[in-house]
Each structure stands twice: as C-alpha cells, then as structure tokens.
Amino acid sequence: MEAFINSLSAISPQNTFAEEKLLHEAREYNNVRFLRCVEPQYSTFIDPMASRRMSRIIKMGVCSAIKCLQEAGINNPDAIITGTGMGCVEDTGRFLASIFENEEKLLNPTPFIQSTHNTVGASIALILKCKNYNNTYGHRGFSFESALLDGIMMLQEEEANDILVGALDELTPDLFTITDRLGFWKKDPVNNLHLKDYRSRGSLAGEGTTFFSLSRTKNEKSFARIRSLQTFLKPAGQREIEKKLTDTDKPDLVILGINGNPPGDEIYNHLKSGIFVNTPAAYYKHLCGEYDTSSAFALAMAAGIIREQHVPDIMKLDSKPVGAIRNILIYNHLRNVNHSVIQVSSC
C-alpha cells in the first residue's frame, strides 16, 4: 500500500499557495480567534464565467486542485477524490437562511445546487472535462483520510495511475459563531505562533484546501511516498493509540496535531514523553488553525519537509537534532473522536 506524491498545492492561512519553498516565512497573526486563508487571484486559474456561481470554498478548492495538477503535468487524472468535514458551509447557510427569510417562496436555486459536499470535486471535473472516477467523503476528522485511502486503493487496484486527492474546509462567520458557542475556541484572542503555550481551553479556528497529485509508480516528479494510513474511532485509551503508533516504522520526525486545547493535547504530551521521547517532534495547527481536514495540511508539511530535508524552526516542538528525514509519522485527532496516523517517507 503506497502512493507517490508528485505535487501538492495548499491554500491556507500561510503563504503556501504562492511560495515554492515550504514555510519560507511563517505568517504571524496577532490578537486573533480564527485564521483565514491567504487567497490567490482566482481569475488566473479559473475563467470568471466558470466561477460565477462559486462560493469562496469552491474557488479555493478548484484553484488549489488546478495548480496541483499543473505542477504534476496532469490534464486528466484517473480519479478525483475529495474530503470535507463540513462541505460548502456558506452556500448551505445562504440557502437555509433564504428559506426562512422568504417563507419558502421565490428562492434562488444557486446556493442549493452548490451546497452538496461533492461540489468542488464535480467543479474540478467539469473544468477539466474529466469523466473518470469521482468521489467525495464527508466525515468529520476522517474526511481527508477516507479520500486518501480510496485513492490508494484505486492505485493498488491498478484502476488508476495518476490521481488527484484533496481536502477542503471553510470557516464562515456563522460557523465560527456556532462552534464558538459550542466551546471549540479560546475565548481570548491569541498570537497563532504561540498557540501551544496558552493554558485556556479551546483552540484557534482555521480553514484550508490542500490537494495532492499521487501516482502508482515513482516518476521524475515524485518527492515523497505515503506508506500507510490508519483511522480509528474513539479509541479506548492511550494504550490503544500507542499500539497503533508503534505498528509503524520508527520515524525520524513525528508531527502532532497539538491545537492548544489542554485536555485534547494531553495525549500528544504523553506520547512526546513516552514512546517518542527520543524522536524529534513538530506541530502545525498554529499555522493553519483547527478544522476537520487539517491533517491534509499536515501531510503537505510532511511531504515538503522530506523534499527539502529541512524542518522549519517554527514547527519544532523541541531542540532534538534532526538528521536525515526519511520517515515521518503524522498523528492527529479531532476532538478525541476521529484519530488518524499517516506515514510518509522519502521515495
């Protein structure tokens, strides 16, 4: 079970979309409760006539997908597979609000037709005129991992050689307000680069779209390899998590899903002083914020670290010396319900 990464493209609160090098300069946000993406000039990538019905998340998703394919030199991927925890929140909210505001009469259909979870995957296919396999997963913190597993299966089944796998989630004002009422976020504004140091409950909200071009066999563009992938729902305890993590090869670096919420970060700290006591550790959610498919951003970071053989200081959790980076383990959980482990290696 493996897949080669040949290109990636991420629109995130960092400059990941424009920069060639990984986190050349980290963006610092002071006094914030959420992070929003640095958005590109969409018209460079999408014809305005084609984008006239696209909400922000659709534009971000399509744009990162198109750039990813361009870099891999793929015009017609054998599969387009996406994952999104919350889907097209803005369009869903707009249509719902219009139902109540207009008492169910004379509603504009556009937000409804654009509200389905597969809108981004479908829009990419429509622009490319790609008639191949197209699938979308929408399951909280498993959304991206499920898409990735589907993609890896496609490659393993030899049904596909080159595929596009991506993740997308957007933060809207209403989504923030509601999840804030649910207690997901820190009440006092923070500096994102110090996220792990706050003692208060909750995290920093975020968003992003991340796409990968994957292939079955190694080619001249390949720079990293996905080795294994596991998801598990509500594990019984720390023991079960440790077992899943020690089932993999010994990593040269572990990337943890620390999000600044002390109860949720407990497991990461336990692992850091336990099974990973001798392993250099890094984290990423201070860069992109917390959202359902943030593990896709983590995978982009991991692949970039392997390509450049360099861990940006801003991601490091300790000062342990990092040697050659051949094997990275990403461990993340979403609200202690959806746990996932992704193993990435050099080619």
Partner 1 sequence: MAAKVFITGAGIISSIGLDYKEVLSSLKASRSGIGKMTLIDSVHKEEIPVAEIKKTNAELKELANVPGKAIFSRTSLLGIIAAREALSQAEIENTSEYRTGLISASTVGGMDRTEKFLKKYLKDKNHGRLRDIITHDMGDSTEKIAEYCRISDYVTTISTACSSSANAIMVGSRLIENGILDRALVGGVDCLTLFTINGFNSLMILDKNGCRPFDENRNGLTLGEGAAFLVLESERIVEKTGKKIFGAVSGYGNACDAFHQTASSPGGDGAFLSMQKALLKAGITPDKIDYINAHGTGTKNNDLSEGNAIERLFGNSVPPCSSTKSFTGHTLGAAGGIEAVFSVMAIEHQCIWPNLNFANKMNELGFLPVTELRKDAAVRNVLSNSFGFGGNNTSLIFSKC
Partner 2 sequence: MEQLVQKLKEEIITALNLSEMKPENIDEKAPLFVDGLGLDSIDALELTVLLEKKYGLKINTSEEGKKVLLSVNSMAEFIRENKKG
Q: How many other β-carbons are positioned within 10 Å of the β-carbon of residue 133?
A: 17
314 is a contact residue toward partner 2 (CB under 8 A): no
Name every residue whose Cβ is closer than 8 Å to that of residue 170 and which is 6 or more positions away in sequence: 55, 56, 57, 60, 86, 88, 89, 90, 207
Count residues binding partner 2 (CB under 8 A).
11
Nearest distance in Å: CB 290, partner 1? 15
Nearest distance in Å: CB 47, partner 2? 9
The correct pick among 15, 45, 70, 116 for binding partner 1 (CB under 8 A) is: 116
Three-point CA angle 111, 112, 117, nearest 5°? 95
3-state secondary structure of 168: strand
Stretch that binds partner 2, among 68-76, 104-112, 168-176, 276-284 (CB under 8 A): 104-112
Instruction: Pick out residues in 140-159 that bind partner 1 (CB under 8 A).
Output: 140, 142-143, 146, 149-150, 153, 156-157
C-alpha to C-alpha distance for 224 and 4, rounded to whole angstroms: 6
Nearest distance in Å: CB 88, partner 2? 15
List Cα–Cα distances, 306 to 198, 259, 287, 311, in angstroms: 30, 23, 18, 9
**Under a CB-based contact definition with an 8 Å cutoff, are residues 321 and 280 in contact?**
yes
- What does 101 interact with, of partner 1, partner 2, none (CB < 5 to 8 A by kind)? partner 1
In this structure, what DSSP letter does residue 36 have? -
Nearest distance in Å: CB 48, partner 2? 4
Stretch that binds partner 2, among 45-53, 145-153, 178-186, 287-295 (CB under 8 A): 45-53
Nearest distance in Å: CB 343, partner 1? 16
Contacts with partner 2, residue ranges (CB under 8 A): 43, 48-49, 52-53, 106-110, 113
